[in-house]
Amino acid sequence: MTTDTRDPSELHVPVLLDRCLELLAPAASREGAVVVDATLGMGGHSEALLDAHPGLTLIGLDRDTEALRLAGTRLARFGDRAIRVHAVYDEIAEAVRGAGFDRIDGVLFDLGVSSLQLDEADRGFAYAQDAPLDMRMDQSRGETAADVLREAPEGRLRAIFERYGEEPLAGRYARAIIAARKDAPIERSGQLVEVLQEATPAAVRDQRHPAKRVFQALRIEVNGELSVLERAIPAALDLIALGGRAVIMSYQSLEDRLVKRELTRRSRSTAPAGLPVELPEHRPEFKLLTRGAELAGDEERARNPRAIPVRLRAAERTRDGR
């Protein structure tokens, strides 16, 4: 494939790279440390971690086979210190065991759609480019966005747009899609954008692009992103050894709420109210390393627009949960 010859470092600028390295350093620098990059992408964060910590073994997961190939080119110089696994990140426990480990010292999640997926027009992720409506992060399996638009009844479409896009015009858009597909299947992003534009009141069109939330919702539905994330964060935290760290970057509010909820739950005491002494087994499993969600600074936001929506949260294991 021609994509294999491209330089991944020129295709993607890792978001909040220095901050991620800083937060993971105490765990990644331990003797025999193992860190999982649960969203390997094109390997930018992983490369920096492996360079910074010569004794580190890194396990990189990605469901996108093209991303794995590109990352493999970037990380080849690290030999068997870089282990790539074709997996969705809720399969993290199986991936770690398959690599021969039962605990890890750190985990990094860089959630959402990758630069590779956004920039490849024929993947159908971007509403600004006309392309087949695929939107699968793993193109080897699962239904496409076009399949959803062709087969889903109006109620399901409305629920998808409301739940995953927080779209106030979800009902209007669902009805418009049902009406449009009676004439012809909606198989390309340009067709969908046209349907949405026509269904959007002029006052709303002046405020925002009508396709943004719908495309986000379809992508999340096609890839099962939130249900995967709900399983992946607890599974990853369970693997972290005492003193190990988790760093998680979200790019939209639905992801960040799930991350915040799980980290908050793990960082609270489970002691019953009124108990005079907190027993060891009731102490929090983790302590938060960030105050709320951290944002990218103005300089990085100007240099790398994809850093604008990022919300970073991090935590360290303080009590072994096993």
Q: Is 89 annotated as a binding residue?
A: yes
Nearest to 40 by CA among 149, 117, 144, 143: 117
Cα angle, residue 290 at apex, residues 297 and 235 outer, rounded to 5°: 115
User: What does the alpha-carbon distance between residue 151 and residue 212 come to, in Å, rounded to a whole number?
Assistant: 21
Q: Is 224 annotated as a binding residue?
A: no
Helix locations, the chain, DSSP H: 8-11, 17-28, 44-52, 65-75, 92-98, 115-119, 145-151, 154-165, 170-181, 189-199, 202-205, 212-223, 225-239, 253-266, 298-303
CB-based contact 77:45 (threshold 8 Å): no
Q: Is 292 annotated as a binding residue?
A: no
- Tokens 């210190």 identify what position? 81
Instruction: Tell me the residue type at 309.
Output: P
The secondary structure of 117-167 as a DSSP string is HHH-GGG---TTS--B----SSTTSS--HHHHHHH--HHHHHHHHHHHH--
CB-based contact 254:221 (threshold 8 Å): no
Structure tokens at 266: 């793990």
- For residue 117, give every residue at least 6 positions away whose Cβ sits within 8 Å of its Cβ, in sequence order, or none: 64, 123, 125, 137
Q: Is 256 annotated as a binding residue?
A: no
Q: Is 117 annotated as a binding residue?
A: yes
Q: Is 110 annotated as a binding residue?
A: yes
CB-based contact 247:310 (threshold 8 Å): no
Q: Is 129 annotated as a binding residue?
A: no
Q: Which residues are annotated as a binding site?
A: 43-45, 62, 89, 110, 117
Q: Which residues are annotated as a binding site for S-adenosyl-L-methionine?
A: 43-45, 62, 89, 110, 117
